[in-house]
Chain A
Amino acid sequence: MTNGSYFAFKTVDWANMGGATWETVWMTVVSMIVVAILGVLLGLLLFETTASENVWVKLLNGVVSFLVNVFRSIPFIILIMLLLPITKNLVGTIIGPSAALPSLIVSAAPFYARMVELAFHEIDRGVIEAAEAMGASSWQIVYKVLLPESMPALVSGATVTTISLIGYTAMAGAIGAGGLGNLAYIDGFQANNNTIVLVATVIIVVIVFAFQFIGDFLVRRIDKRTL
């Protein structure tokens, strides 16, 4: 043991580190795919029901809006504990990367849904109206106008969400979900090996930078508003 040193790289089990990295990336990507789908659907629901005058639609909007706000407010570490019974039912275990998915999704989807709703509201009302005037159906307006016209905002929102998900995976890791957070906690903190903590940190920063880079690159590619 190299007590307290940050640079005792001989003590690092690189195979372990690689596995943990893979677990972190896997948790992030899988949960983000589900979050993106759920978030767009929820965001669309919120957007479409906002201006309605129908009492039931208004009620639906109120309920969904309230739930989104509630789940956005619960601190992630508490949400994991809250969802433990559900996770056990759904995944069959409360340990490992799969067990982290339900709480990751439940915490990030409402966050992303709000961003999606905002992105749709940013679209020029006139463009939507022009599509209506051309005889487009509601569904055509969604996939021909709302989604393509808000795509840069949807992608940059997804980037931000992905990055906060990486943070959540580390937290989930600390209570048994695996990944770099888990490794840093068990093999690093509890074993008093700061090198492991440092290496895990550096890898997480690299992952965050990579996602940020991909996100920015995509936004630049699809945004044709200013050339």
Chain B
Amino acid sequence: MIEFKNVTKTFTTKDGDLTAVSDVNLNIDDGEIYGIVGYSGAGKSTLTRMLNGLETPTSGEIDINGDKITALSGSELRKKRQKIGMIFQHFNLLWSRTVIQNIMFPLEVAGVSRKERQEKAQHLVDLVGLTGREHSYPSELSGGQKQRVGVARALANDPEILISDEATSALDPQTTDEVLDLLLQINKKMNLSIVLITHEMHAIRKICDHVAVMDDGRVVEQGTVFNVFRNPKQEITKRFVSEEVDPALTDTNSIVEDLIKSYPDGTIVQLVFHGDQAKLPIVSEMIHQFPKVQVSIIEGSIHQTQEGSIGSLYLQITGDKESLDGALNLLKKMRVETEVIHRD
């Protein structure tokens, strides 16, 4: 359990005071993946750097499993840091050490015996899928492999929480997904809480349970990923969500307009999925029951979140009035959100 209580951080700069984090309250439960999303400069990195005492809050306090981080210093703080794993955007591996030596670094810091270090590091190498690369140097690895080393290193001292500071931001989309899958796998396997900072909604949607949206040092919105995606309240959240759910929203609108022009007879329907219904064969069920309707898919995107599928599908349905009404009724009965955009 991680608790931020009225946490504020102000930096004193030449141009006056700069409030990076302003009165943040957050509760992060054990075993969940908590996303913190925001544009650069929103204060999310500062917020997480306070979790392991790399920054101290100007006011407020932070508890990790009952220990007040803000009250610790010196060797107590270093001891606690060993139990807080962290992975970084630029991996921050030591180039002078091999993969396995990098993973052994935190174990050396913690004073673990040589034999145990070796065994543990080898186990972690296997866990993150780098078997066979133990003795490679970071310069011989790809970005994704380097981040795997970063993850293994962060797990070396059996941390209570794992902080991911923009860990996928320097990676290509496919590698990003691989690293996110690895984090999810670790979260499930070890029931490890993960705090994931990112500016990519994709990463949030893919693996997070809860999300907090930060803007200008404040948490402007928080909740389950599912709810925030389905029903974003703040303007900035809507921007993040729209970037992700419907990257081609304007495309779709113009396609719909074209279709209305080209097929004035048709009925154009938008189906919005959020939850388990997306697993049901809704469209095929409709065609099955109303064989007289013609269906063409105009545009669609379905995404998987931790709680189910969300997304939207645009259909053009033509047919006689009776079948059409029946089909639309069926869609409503199947508890899929249906909006008739155009009907002649």
Contact = CB atoms under 8 A, between A and B. Distances in A.
A and B pair up: yes
Nearest to A140: B109
Given A144-B108, A226-B139, A124 B78 contact: no
A135 B109 contact: yes
Q: Chain A contact residues: over half helix, strand or loop, or mixed?
A: helix
Interface string A119-135: 00000101101111111
B202 to A, nearest CB: 24
Interface stretch (A145-153, A157-165, A197-205, A212-220): A145-153
A134 B94 contact: no
Nearest to A138: B78
B312 interface: no
A135 B82 contact: yes
B156 to A, nearest CB: 8
A198 B122 CA distance: 60
A225 interface: yes
B190 interface: no
Interface in B186-221: none
B105 A225 contact: no
Contacts, number: 70
B95 A129 contact: no
B78 A149 contact: no
A144 B107 CA distance: 12
A137 interface: yes
Given A137-B78, A227-B137, A124 B106 contact: no
Q: Which of A127, A131, A135, A227 has the most CB of B within 10 A?
A: A135
Interface string B87-108: 0101011111100000001101
A9 B88 CA distance: 66
B82 A151 contact: no
A131 B157 CA distance: 13
Nearest to A128: B92
A151 B94 CA distance: 12
Contact of A132 (B54, B108, B110): B54
10 contacts: A126-B88, A127-B93, A135-B80, A135-B157, A136-B78, A136-B109, A144-B108, A224-B95, A224-B137, A227-B137
